[in-house]
Structure formats: structure tokens, C-alpha cells
Chain A
Amino acid sequence: MSPRAVDRESPDRLYTVTQGRTPGDDDPFDLVSLIVGEREPAPGMQSEHVRILETCRTPVSVAELSAELELPISVVKVLLLDLRDTGGVTVRHPLNDELPDQNTLRKVLRALERI
């Protein structure tokens, strides 16, 4: 156990944060989906929602949110689903339908190595 586990742990259990929900298989979020906040946090909101909205004033990826909130990806996804359903955030999917081919990547690698 790391010190974090005993001293930085919160009494919140994750299932209470999500009310026991987990994202379904068809959740619209990818790890690199960009989340954009659409409004300011309102009083009475769940504290995680508030933090997400504050973080998302500039577009932030799901993975980054997860790291900054120190919450697992699944939990962040559930929270984002809630926010999306209430119009708090919008999701921008990355335009990575076709990955660059290996040649391009190699060129990039070489260029980077030359730096």
C-alpha cells in the first residue's frame, strides 16, 4: 500500500460517485475524445461534475480528465454521460478514422530523432 492509499484516500467510494453505474458497451467516449464544457458549474451539483466543468473550459480529453480527477476512466465516463445528457458538455471525437501509414510515422520518428 502506498501512502496515498491510506492518507490521501477519500471516504467516497467510487460506486457512490456513480450511484453504482458503469458505462455500457456503447458509450460514446473514447480515451482521446475531447470534452468541451458548455456551461459554468451550478451550486448543488455533484463535486465531480463541478470539477469536470471547470476543467473543460478548454477542451480536455477523457484520459486527461481521469488523471486530473484521479478517478478511473469508467467513473469519468459515467459522470460525462450525466453531463452530456444534461447539456453540460459536448463531445468531440478525434479525427483518427485513418491512421497515418507506417512510412509517415517513420519519417516523423526520424525527424524527431534529428532534433
Chain B
Amino acid sequence: MSAQPVPGLSRAQSPAFHATVAFAVSAMVAIACMTWVLLTTPPGDTHMLVAVLVGGTACALMVVTGVTAAVYFGSVANEARAADAASQLRARRIEDEFFWLARETLPVIARRVGNGATPEEVFEGIPRPESDAVRSLLTTIQRLATDVMEKAAAVQGEAEEAAESARAEAEASAERATSAAEELAAIEAEASRLGTEAIPAALDQLRAGEPRDMVLSATSEAVSPALSGLFGTVVTELAVAERRAASAMAACANAAARVQAQTTRMLADLREMEQRYGDDKVFADLMTLDHLVSQTGRFADSIALLSGGRSGRRWTRPIPVESVLRGAMGRIDAYQRVRVHSTCTTAISGYAAEGVMHALAELMDNATAFSAHGSAVHVYVEEEDAGLVVTIEDSGLGMRARERERAERAVAKPLDLATLPGTRLGLAVVGRVADRYGLSVSFRPSARGGTGVVVMIPRALLSAPRDAAAPGWWPGRDSADGSGSDPGAAPDPPGESGTQPITVPGQLAGQDEDTYELPVRPRGKTLAEASRTSLGPRTEIPRHSSNDAGSRFAAFRNSRTGHTEPGGTGADQTITEADAVESGSDHQGSEGTA
């Protein structure tokens, strides 16, 4: 009834209308019947009264019925209108709820679903519609949404599971990769440690003479067995190579020492021969031979030095710088091209003199070898606060920057025969000597166009030249002054190397006997041999033979000029000048046979 549409209401009016019409028709019929009865019945008749009464009553009933019906239908119509209004209101509310559902609720639900809320959360706080239809619709939507969300959740779960497994797999592989990389890095670090620390350290230990097993056990175990094996192989090979190198070096040093001993002896003999045949035609040949032997000695010295041996000989007194430079010159081929400019009067300590000479000889040899044949090599000596500066300048082609660097490197790092990069020994020798005695050697372009080598000999190696105190070399000043042979001599400038006091030969010989009390073992000889050679001549022949020529001649001359030689040895002889010279030669000869 409430759901009836409004047009149905107009159809409901039609029975009322029909009832009204029927009521009007029946009223008119009743009135007509009564009227007929009244008209047919005579006036004053009881029938008429009855008729009027019945008729009136009927009419009244009819009116009452009509009014009642009208009131009834009116109320029914009112109710119908009220019901219509209520149904319209409900319809509007339902409509509103639909709108609310469509515009507010569903978007909220959609948003919540989008945000990933659970089904309970999605529908939490959603107002329940009053309308059953809307509510059922919402319920259906809720169910569907829940279904969809559950399915989505299931799908998502599967996806998450798949992602999880994928991630786990990725993590596992990443872990594997990381561990592989770590292992690789460890191996790499170990290899680099082997290369930079372990193998050099092992090499040092091997060079220090430790056996191979000790070297291997001393080194910490490598991470990789392959590397351990590699290290073991390397150390074994190094040990073998080192042993070979050491034995080769020892052989070299031994051979060089023998050659050194021979050359030292040859040089001494040659010096004696030169003295003996000083005025002979053979003298020039002896000097040539001397030069060749000196160079041989330098080669032997180089090999000895680089193979760990000792220098050729050791001087027992300070050697004046002039002699050091001459000694260096004498060992090179083109010594005549060397020009020395020196006013220096100091001396170099005996223990270092040989090394310094050797190094300077090598540098002079380089200078003469790398400059034109006719050109001179100039050697300048200056005494500075720090020490003695020797500059060797040539006018050759000079060195390029790279060559100079190489030379500086060769000089700065002491090498030996086993570590020598090439076959040239010279600069390596200089480096060894510089390292041993603290010389500093630097190369620079020379103003003459070639190369200038600056050698700084530290002051610790310098000492005053030994003059008066020289044992038997240039004998004491006092004896010279007391000799009377040089009464007008001016006082010698102190430290002047060239102003050695003049000797009286007889006293020289006497002093010799005092000085050489102890046998001194020369390089390359046994002590027994040295003492034999030192004792031999003294017991057999008086050791003033080499000076006898001069002393006898001096005696002769003094006797002629009226001077007397105190303690002179030749005054008791009456000989001619020619005899004196001849006798001197004989004595020289006798010395040579000693």
C-alpha cells in the first residue's frame, strides 16, 4: 500500500466517486418513492403519516449513511495522502543513501583498499545505511570487496613469497660473490705481500747466509696453498741462485786478490827497477810497463771491490792530495791528458786513500774515454769547510739528462757484481767507494761542454800530511837541520806537502833501522814471508844502498869544497867522480838483488 504510486491514489478516488453517485441515485430513488407515496395517499390518512415517518426516517438514515461514508472516505483519503508523503520521503532518503554510497562511501572504501587496509579496517567506521536495499548492496559490496581483497592478499602473499625467495637467492649469490671476492682479495694481497715483502725479505735472509729451510719456516704461511708452493719454489730457486752468485763472487774475489797481490809486487819491483836503471835506455820501457801494470791493478781492484774483496793495498800514512791525484791518474790509459789544478796541501787518511784514488781513477777514465782524444781533462781541487771538492771536467759530448740520472743512480746505490745491470764497472766502483767512505758524487754539465763530476771528500777523511813524523818516508826535520848540508834553508811553511826536509842519507838509513822494528805484512803476503823479506836485507846488506851514490858523492863534493860531513860515510875513500858514480851504480845494483 505504501509502495503504491501516486497515480494509484487517483484510482482510489473513483470508488468514492462511484459511492457518491450510487448514494445520490439511491437517495433520489428513495425521495421519489416517498414523494409518490405522499402523492398517492390521501391527505390526513394514517398511511400518509406512516409514509412520511418511514420516508423521513429513511431519508435521515440515508443522510447519516452518506455523511458517514463521506467522513470515512475523507479520512481514508487523508491516510492515503499521508502514506504517499511518507513513501516519497523514504524514497528520497533511499535516493540520498544511494548518492552517499556512490559519492562518499565507495570512494572511501576504494581509498582504503588502495592503501592496503584489511577488510575489517576498510569497512570500519562506514555508516550503515538505513535502507535495506542499500544496506544489502553495501553488504554485497563488502563481501565482494573482501573476496577481492582476500584474493589480492593471496596473490600478494604469493608475490611476496616469490620476491622473498628471489631475494634470498640473490642474497645467497651475493654472499657467494662476496666470499669469492674476499678470497680473491686475500689471495691478491698475499701475492702482493709475497712480492713486496716476503720474497725480498727471504732474499735478504738468504744473502745473509741463512739456510733455505730456516727462511721458509720463518715466513708466515700463505693463505693459498698455490701461493705457498710458489713461494717455496721461488725461495728454493733464489737460494740456489744466491749460492751460485756467492760462490762466483767468492771466486772472483779470490782471483782478483791474487791478481792484486801480483800487481802490487810487480809495481814494487818495477819501481826498484826504475830506480836501478834510472839513467838507462830501458827506463822508458819500464815506465810503459809500469803504466800497464798499474791499469791491470785497477781492473783487479775493481773486480775485487765489486765482488766483496778488499782494495789493492792499504797505506799506513796519510797520502797528500797531489799523490792521490797522481795515483789516480797513473791507473788510467790516457793519463797524459789529465791536467791537475791544485794548490791543496792536505792529505787523505791512509785507510781511505786507496779507495779515493780508485774512485777518482774510474771517473778520470770515464772523462778521458768520453771526450775527444786530443782534449784535456781538467781536475780542480778545492778545500771547503765540508771537505775536499774534486771536480773532474771534460769537454766531450756531455751526458743527456737520462744518462746523468742513470749515472747518479749507479753512484748512489752500491752494487756488486751480481746486481750490476750492465758490464761497465766504473760507476759501480765509484758507488761502492762512495758508500764505504761517505763520498758524495754528483754529475753536472760542464762549462767546457762536457760533463763535470764533483766528488766531495768529507773532512773526516782528511788529515794533515805527515812530514816530520813520517816513519822513514821523509825523515825528520831535526836531522835534516842538523846535517849542515842545507844551512840556509828558510823555515818550511807548515803543512806544505812539497817542502819536505832534506834528508841526510846516512841518517836516513839509520832511522830506517829504528823504524822498521816490526815486520809489516804487505797485502797478499803471509806474515812469515813478510818478515822474511823484511829481515832478509837488513841482516845481509846495510840498507842505505840506494842512497849511497848520493851520499858518497856528497862526501866527495864536500871534501872538495872543504866541508866536512858529520858522520859521513864516504870521507875515507879516495875516488874520482867517475868512480863515485860507478860505485853508486854498483850499490844500486846490489840493492836490486836484495
Contacts and interface: CB of A to CB of B under 8 A. Distances in A.
Interface of A: 1-20, 22, 31-32, 40-41, 43-51, 54-55, 57-58, 61, 63-68, 70-75, 94, 96, 99, 105, 108-109, 112-113
A29 to B, nearest CB: 10
Contacts of A61: 553, 557
Contacts of A11: 315, 319, 323-324, 326-327, 330, 353-354, 357
B291 interface: yes
A48 B488 CA distance: 19
A67 B278 contact: no
Contact of B291 (A6, A15, A43, A44): A15
Interface of B: 264-265, 267-269, 271-272, 274-275, 277-280, 283-284, 287-288, 290-291, 294, 313, 315-316, 319-320, 322-324, 326-327, 329-330, 335-336, 341-343, 353-354, 357, 472-473, 486, 488-490, 492, 496-500, 502-503, 505, 512, 516, 519-520, 522, 530, 533-534, 537, 543, 546-547, 549-551, 553-554, 557, 574, 576-577, 581, 584, 591, 594
If over half of B's interface residues share one DSSP class (helix, strand or loop), that class is named, otherwise mixed; here it is helix
B517 to A, nearest CB: 11
A57 B327 CA distance: 29
A9 B268 contact: yes
Given A32-B577, A41-B498, A43-B343, A5 B271 contact: yes
A47 B473 CA distance: 15
Q: Closest 6 interchain pairs by CB?
A: A67-B550, A72-B278, A50-B498, A11-B327, A47-B498, A5-B268
A44 B496 CA distance: 10
A47 B322 contact: yes
Which of A2, A41, A70, A112 has the most chain B CB atoms inside 10 A of its CB?
Answer: A2
Contacts of B322: 46-47
B581 A63 contact: yes
B486 A57 contact: yes
Given A44-B343, A49-B498, A74-B283, A68 B594 contact: no
Given A1-B269, A5-B269, A41-B498, A31 B581 contact: yes
A77 to B, nearest CB: 8
A71 to B, nearest CB: 8
A23 B290 CA distance: 17
B489 A54 contact: yes
Contacts of A113: 574
Nearest to A55: B502
22 contacts: A1-B272, A6-B264, A6-B522, A8-B473, A9-B268, A11-B315, A11-B323, A11-B327, A11-B353, A12-B323, A14-B271, A15-B291, A16-B330, A51-B502, A54-B489, A54-B492, A63-B550, A67-B550, A67-B554, A67-B584, A70-B546, A113-B574
